Each structure stands twice: as structure tokens, then as C-alpha cells.
Structure 1
Amino acid sequence: MTDIGCALRSGGWLTPARITTYSRLLLALTIVAIAGWIALSDGLVDRNGKPIGTDFSNVYAAGVLTLHGKSADAYDPPLQHAMEKAVFDGRDVPFFGWHYPPFFFAIAAITAMLPYAGGLALWVVSSLLAYLAVMRAILPRRETLLVAAAFPAVFVNIGHGQNAFFTAGLLGGALLLMERSRPWVAGILIGFLAYKPQFGVLIPVALVAGGRWPTIAAAAATVTALVAISFAALGSEVWHAFFQSMTFTQTVVLEQGGTGWEKIQSAFSAARHWGVDVRTAYAVQAMLAVSLAAGLAWLWQSDTAFDLKASALASASLLATPYVLDYDLVVLAVAIIFFVRHGLAHGFRDYELSLLAAAWIVPLLSRSVAGLTTIPLGLIVLMALFALTLRRALTDRASEIGEQARIARA
């Protein structure tokens, strides 16, 4: 094996000094890029004619509609787009659709109580701090905040004004609370994740397999409460509008690739990017989801270390949905950090450090690589990380059985 192959296998190339240097470099580049992006904008519209915070404009516009008592209009593309234009004094900014369940209007309305710049700052800063706090709580080491802040998905998420910090914070926080025997609070956080329901497909599989009944009950109660409160506050019309809008979301945004195949990091999108028809692409996605569910069910009902269970659930949550964009890969930080914590406590095996490094950098490359080559790099790395997590669980179990046999023979 070559020196490069040996280094990749052992992970010896990834020294603490390199981790710190790479993280500082990427964080500095992120800060400069964001500052330049804002400085070169004209009235909070960038040089490409898009709002600063792009996707956040749909959140803010939906919040304004909510404050005006017109929440249901957010699910009507022409009316939503008209409000997005009005936010920017009638400028012809692109349309960014509102696809969230009605209970998320509460967050949108809070941001709309401030001017657009203030609402965007509140949205980004509060969610970023929540994400960083959860990462630090999972792995309380000096370098955690630096590496978590420099994670390239952070830059992608800020650039899009998206909500992946909330998603990662809620999922990571829920897993941490489960580990700390606070199942009811963990369930509440999982219930809040219903604002992005596509990422919760496999969570019930893991919880049922692990017998986490209090967490399941708390999650179900939280979702029920959120739906009931939104019905009471906004009426049934808004829920009717939401369900009607799902057809537009599914057909135009997902199936027809309105978002851009290179941006979506799923098996479905990869198949569609390669020219596969919609039905076959759904079949590919379904087969992957079933395989993931089987792996999670085995893992969560076993006595595998919780870190590996948590890591696998985070990566599987991203893989199971046909609609996961590159900014959603902030959630990948949850998978990485739990795996790293396990490795730091029990040692890393062959190729683990190198694959974790690949998972850390992939959000910076996935869109460009897919756009230029149609190779779904993000999907490939996610699948490799999930498979590596299962492999680690198996090898740990084999090592434990071998050690028990050795002791029995002694």
C-alpha cells in the first residue's frame, strides 16, 4: 500500500494542528464571503438580483401575511411572491416558496415584527447559537465550537437564510437528552422537528426499536398540541391551503427539479439527474429507505453504544427523504460529532477518520461536483458514513464477544 493509502487508512494525516488550521481558514473565508456579499448588495438585494438571505425572504413574507391575518396566502405562489416583492419595495426578486406546516407561522411572524435585516439577523444568529450550543454540549472540548462553526454546511445554510441550524439543534439536542435520561424533553424537541416532517421518517423506527416509549409519547403530544394551537389561532382554512400546496411542492419543486438536481442530495434526485423516470426514482428512494430502516431497527434494539445509534439516526434521517438540500447537511454535523465522540473514547478504526473528514468537507463540494459531473458526492458520502457506523457497531460487538471469550478461557 502506498504512503497515501496508509495515511487514509490510519487517518494519521488528520492531526489536531491540521484540524485547527483548516477550520480557521474555512471560517475566515466564510466570514469574508458573507461580509462581501452584504457589502456589495443594493438595498438587501445582491448582485444577482436575489435577496440577501434568499430563502429567508419566504419566511419573512409569510410572517408579514400572518400579521395581516392572511396566512393562507403564503401557500398560494402568486400571492406569496407578490408579498416577497413588496418586502423589497416592489423589486422583481425571484420567488421562494413557503412549504412549512401552519404551526411554523409563529416563527415567521416573530421575524416579521422586525425590519427585514433585523428579522434575518434574529433568524440566523439565534439558530446558529442553538446549533453551536448543542454541538458543544455533545462534545465539550475546546476545539468543538471552532470545528462546528467552520463546518462548510454552516456557510451554505447562512447563504440561503435557511433553517438547518434549527433542525440540527433539535435533533442533536433530542438525542443528547435521550442519552441523559430526559426522555420527555427529548420527545418535545422531536415534536418540534415536525416543521420539517421529511426528516422525521425514520425517527419512529429507531424509537420503537429502542423501546423509547416516553419519548414517543412526548413527541406525539407535542405535534398534537402544535396542530391544535395552529387550528385555534389560524383556523382550518390555512391547513386546507397547506395540503393543497403539497401538490405544487411535490411536482414542481421535487419531481420536476425546480430547485435544481445538483442542490438536492437524495437518491431520488440522483436518479432523476441521470434521466430516470419519476416512478423508478421513487422506487430507488423507497428501497434505500427500507434498507436504512432495517439497519436502524437492528442498531437501536441492540446494546450498541448510544453514540453510534445517534450518529446512524442523524445520517439516515438525511438519506431517507427524497428532498434534502445541501444546506440541510448541517444535520450531518450531528452524525459526525457523535461518531467522533465514540472514536475519542474507544479509538478509531481503519478509514474512519478519513471518512469523517470527507463528510465534514462534502457540503462545500457536493453542489459543484453534481452540477459539473452528475456525481452525487453528498449522497455517496452520507451512505458511506451510515455503512461505516453499522460496521463499527458490528466490529465493536465482535471485539466485545472476543474479549468475553478470552476472559472465560483465562
Structure 2
Amino acid sequence: MFAETLEAVQSSPSKRAAYVRFVLVALAAIVLFKTFWFARWGGWTDRELADFDAFHIVALHVWRGDLDQVYHFEALLKMQMEAAGGATGFMPWTYPPQYDLLVAPFAFLPVGVGYLLFTTATLALYLVTLRAIAGRNFAQVLVILFPALAITIGCGQNGFLTGALIGLVCLNVERRQWLAGFALGAMVIKPHLAIAAGLYLLMTRRWIALGTAATVVLVSSLLCTLLFGWQIWTAWLGAIRESASFLEQGFYPLFRMISAYAALYKAGLPASIAFWGQAAVAGAALLAVLLGPVRNASSKFALGVTVMVSVMISPYAYDYDLPMLGIGLALILPELAKLASQRERSAIYGLVLLAGAYGLLQSGRLAVQFGQKADPDQHFAPAIGGFALMALLVLLLRLLLRGMQPSPALPRTAQATE
């Protein structure tokens, strides 16, 4: 069966090493290819902007002193068209000011060089963190996660950074709460992906971690206020309201989204019904976080479920956020064989693969059939990733509700690497 095939990846040290080498070489090749693409070398002088281009544009405006303008879509669209030399895609800016500070240094680098440094640094941090958590299951997780890693590299997004931060929370929550709290606080760059982890820390009374996270958020917010002025927060909140309206009207490339909202909306349901569906899924995801400790799941398994459902809470979640799902999968794998049947494991692996691969394959199909600037709204493309994650959530809830025996607590970082 499918589960047996994937689990055979780790059947021997030599086979594990071979698969790891293959995946890492493939990822390096994609990074190199996309570096040329972002740098506009060769035949890519006339290309549409991608996510890292947006990061670079914002970085430039940090130093120009008009950062608040990037939160106004009409002004940002003009900036993007200027950078693209013409038409560009739909890329509103809704990141908190803390992320503006993070990307600011890239203004001093060409786009291609900045992309290479950002992607290689965050990918390396993510892989080191994933390896520390996964241990001997590292090769299996890499194979299952490969499509999600490839698409994150392709657009130059920050999924590796957020995945690594959540991974650091998991590695340190037992014995270095201050470090776990620092990593969780740094998730202020994408706060909607930290909701589940915050709830888990609250449920398990990790007060030092929660206090440290709150301090990081407050201090970084104060720094942003001092640097950019109070108006930056008004501009940011205005951008969030504007993006909610854009989401309701379906302006985003919803087929790349992995949320229940996107899945239901693209299936033809009205936006109001799709939002209620998203609310129900978010509630079920938070219930999964609560059930872990209640049903006597081990710290490792409960954390794994928490991380996996983190990407299911917000209606605004993309396939490039899926590296976080790999952290959760690595945490639950050691116990999955005894808690889930072979069929259930096959379904879990397959759903993770589908969620990561669908947007990649669909983007490729649209580009081949209709050109690089194909509009998915004109050529119907459903949001299958959202349905895959809803099914995955049902499976995780089923495992938790089935009941578990108490297991050892989360091991030390050193033990996890054995």
C-alpha cells in the first residue's frame, strides 16, 4: 500500500541517505533556477512579479520613508507595475510592520541576490530544525513534503521561516521555555499561523513561554511605532479590511489557497456560507488542540497535531505555508504506526502530498495551456488543497477521539536527532 511504499524510504541508513541526497539536490537545483528567474537573466527579462518581488518593493519603501503607502492597494499596484515594467499580478500587502523590518535589508541587494540569500538561509534553518525533530524519519518527511517545499522555493515566500519558528517552539517548549516563547513571539510576522500553538501553550500552562512571546510582540511593536509612527498601524489595519473585501470577491488566486473558505468558495458556495464553513473548520482545528492533552496524547503527538492544524484556522492560507505541516508530521510519525492503521497512514501521507502538489501542478497546467500570465478566474481551477486539509483534520480528530495511552514527554533536542 501507499503507506508501506513511503515508509520503506527509511528501511535502511543507506536508503535514507540516498533519498535525502536526492531531495536536497533537487531543491538546490530549483533554488538555482529561480535565482536566474528572479534576477531576470536570460529569457526572463519580461516576467510577472512573484512574492519575493513584493518583499523587495516593500524593503525599498522602508528606506524611502513612505512605508504606509504599501498598505494602500492602489498605491502598491503602481509600485508593482513600475517594478514589473507593465502588468503585474494581484499582490496586496497585509504583513504586520515587524515583517517590514525583517525584509528591509534586502533593499540594498539586487532582487536575484536577495532572493538567493533569503531562500537559502530560511530553507537551511528549516531543514536543520526539521532534521532535529524528525530524526530517522527525516527522509520520509522530505519525500512527502517535497511538492510544498518546491512551490515555496518557486515563489520566494516565507514558509520556511514560519515552519522553522514553529519547529523551534516545539523543540524547546519542555526545557527552554524562554526560547520557545521567543520563537512564538517572532511569529508576529504571521500571527494567524501561531494561534494553535498559543492555545496549546495556554492549555499546558507554559507561562514563561507565553510571557516571553508577549514581550517579543510588545517590544517589536513599540520599535515599529518609534520607527514608522502610529500611522503604520492604521495603515496595516486598513489593508486587512481591504484584503477581507478582496477575499470575499474572489480576487486572490484561490486555487493556490489551502483554506476551507477557498475550497468552498471555488466549489460555488456564496462567500458568506464559505466563511461559516471556515469558522466551523477553525473551531474543529482548535478542538483538536484541546483534545491532545485531554485524551492523554504524548507531548510530542499533541504538539504535532497542534502544528498540523495551525494552517487550517485562517481563511488566508496558501500552499507555501505547508512547510509548517511537515514539522507537525515529523512530530507525530514515531507514534503514528501504532495509533493509525495502514489505510489511515496512507490517507494522511496522501493528503499532505495532495495539498502540496495541487497548486504546483495546477499552476503548471494553466501556464502550459494559456501562457505564463493565465488568469485562473477565466480558466476554472478548484481549490482542492482546502478539501485535502479538511479530510486530514477529520483523520486527526478521529485518532484523538479514539483514545490513547500515556506516552513519554517530548525528548530533548539531542535525543530527537538520534
Please classify the TM superposition score into its range, dividing by the shorter chain length.
0.7 to 0.9
Q: Distance in 1 between matches of 2:380 and 2:335?
A: 35
CA gap 1:232/1:265 in 2 versus in 1, 3 angstroms: same
Q: Distance in 2 between matches of 1:40 and 1:204?
A: 38
* Alignment correspondent of 1:407: none
Where 1:397 maps in the other structure, the secondary structure is: coil
Are the counterparts in 1 of residues 36 and 112 from structure 2 also a CA contact under 8 Å? no
Q: Distance in 2 between matches of 1:149 and 1:298?
A: 26
Deviation of 1:209 after TM superposition, in Å, equals: 1.9
* Alignment correspondent of 1:328: 321
Q: Distance in 1 between matches of 2:5 and 2:286?
A: 33
Letter in 2 for 1:378: G
Q: Percent identity?
A: 23
CA gap 1:25/1:12 in 2 versus in 1, 3 angstroms: closer
CA gap 1:359/1:277 in 2 versus in 1, 3 angstroms: closer
Are the counterparts in 1 of residues 305 and 328 from structure 2 also a CA contact under 8 Å? yes
1:201 aligns with 2:195: yes
* Alignment correspondent of 1:246: 240
Which residue of the other structure, out of 48, 51, 56, is the alignment partner of 1:55? 51
* Alignment correspondent of 2:76: 80
CA gap 1:213/1:268 in 2 versus in 1, 3 angstroms: same
* Alignment correspondent of 2:125: 130
Deviation of 1:101 after TM superposition, in Å, equals: 0.6
Deviation of 1:76 after TM superposition, in Å, equals: 2.0
Deviation of 1:38 after TM superposition, in Å, equals: 5.3
Deviation of 1:273 after TM superposition, in Å, equals: 0.8
Are the counterparts in 2 of residues 308 and 389 from structure 1 also a CA contact under 8 Å? no
Q: Distance in 1 between matches of 2:217 and 2:184?
A: 9
Letter in 2 for 1:235: G
**C-alpha offsets along residues 208-233 of structure 1, whole Å, 9 cap, x if unaligned?**
22222222222112111111111011
Are the counterparts in 2 of residues 26 and 152 from structure 1 also a CA contact under 8 Å? no
Query: In the TM superposition, what are the counterparts of 1:35-184 in structure 2 within 5 Å?
Result: 35-36=32-33, 39=36, 43=40, 46=44, 49-51=47-49, 54-87=50-83, 90-94=85-89, 96-141=91-136, 143-144=138-139, 147=142, 151-179=146-174, 181-184=175-178
CA gap 1:113/1:186 in 2 versus in 1, 3 angstroms: same
Query: In the TM superposition, what are the counterparts of 1:256-405 in structure 2 within 5 Å?
Result: 256-343=249-336, 349-362=341-354, 363-366=356-359, 368=361, 376-395=383-402, 397=404
Are the counterparts in 1 of residues 285 and 309 from structure 2 also a CA contact under 8 Å? yes
CA gap 1:338/1:259 in 2 versus in 1, 3 angstroms: same
Letter in 1 for 2:149: V
Which residue of the other structure, out of 229, 233, 239, is the alignment partner of 2:223? 229
Where 2:404 maps in the other structure, the secondary structure is: helix
Q: TM-score, normalised by structure 2?
A: 0.81
Deviation of 1:378 after TM superposition, in Å, equals: 2.4
Gaps of 5+ in 1: 1-6, 401-410
Letter in 1 for 2:238: Q
Are the counterparts in 1 of residues 182 and 213 from structure 2 also a CA contact under 8 Å? yes
Letter in 2 for 1:166: L
Q: Distance in 1 between matches of 2:400 and 2:110?
A: 50
Higher relative contact order (CA 8 A, sep 6+): 2
Q: Distance in 1 between matches of 2:222 and 2:33?
A: 44
Where 1:49 maps in the other structure, the secondary structure is: coil
Are the counterparts in 2 of residues 135 and 144 from structure 1 also a CA contact under 8 Å? no
Are the counterparts in 2 of residues 265 and 326 from structure 1 also a CA contact under 8 Å? yes
Q: Distance in 2 between matches of 1:300 and 1:99?
A: 34
Q: Distance in 1 between matches of 2:217 and 2:81?
A: 33
Q: Distance in 2 between matches of 1:145 and 1:349?
A: 18
Q: Distance in 2 between matches of 1:273 and 1:248?
A: 20
Letter in 1 for 2:170: L
Deviation of 1:115 after TM superposition, in Å, equals: 1.9
Deviation of 1:42 after TM superposition, in Å, equals: 7.7
Letter in 1 for 2:199: V
Letter in 2 for 1:215: A
Are the counterparts in 1 of residues 130 and 138 from structure 2 also a CA contact under 8 Å? no
Q: Distance in 2 between matches of 1:347 and 1:271?
A: 31
Are the counterparts in 2 of residues 151 and 360 from structure 1 also a CA contact under 8 Å? no
Are the counterparts in 2 of residues 352 and 388 from structure 1 also a CA contact under 8 Å? yes
Q: Distance in 2 between matches of 1:301 and 1:238?
A: 41
CA gap 1:172/1:17 in 2 versus in 1, 3 angstroms: closer
Deviation of 1:395 after TM superposition, in Å, equals: 4.8
Q: TM-score, normalised by structure 1?
A: 0.83
Q: Computing the radius of gyration over CA atoms, which structure comes out larger, 1 or 2?
A: 1
Letter in 2 for 1:245: A
Deviation of 1:105 after TM superposition, in Å, equals: 1.2
Q: Distance in 1 between matches of 2:159 and 2:311?
A: 11
* Alignment correspondent of 2:366: none
Deviation of 1:56 after TM superposition, in Å, equals: 0.9
Where 2:136 maps in the other structure, the secondary structure is: coil
**C-alpha offsets along residues 16-70 of structure 1, whole Å, 9 cap, x if unaligned?**
279857776666655555555555778358377214xx11111111110001111
Letter in 2 for 1:212: R
Are the counterparts in 2 of residues 26 and 150 from structure 1 also a CA contact under 8 Å? no
Are the counterparts in 1 of residues 27 and 150 from structure 2 also a CA contact under 8 Å? yes
RMSD, matched Cα: 3.2
Letter in 1 for 2:75: L
* Alignment correspondent of 1:404: none
Q: Distance in 2 between matches of 1:384 and 1:335?
A: 16
Gaps of 5+ in 2: 364-375, 408-418
Q: Distance in 2 between matches of 1:399 and 1:184?
A: 26
Aligned residue pairs, count: 387
Q: Distance in 2 between matches of 1:48 and 1:351?
A: 47
Deviation of 1:380 after TM superposition, in Å, equals: 3.4
Q: Distance in 1 between matches of 2:267 and 2:341?
A: 35
CA gap 1:299/1:40 in 2 versus in 1, 3 angstroms: closer
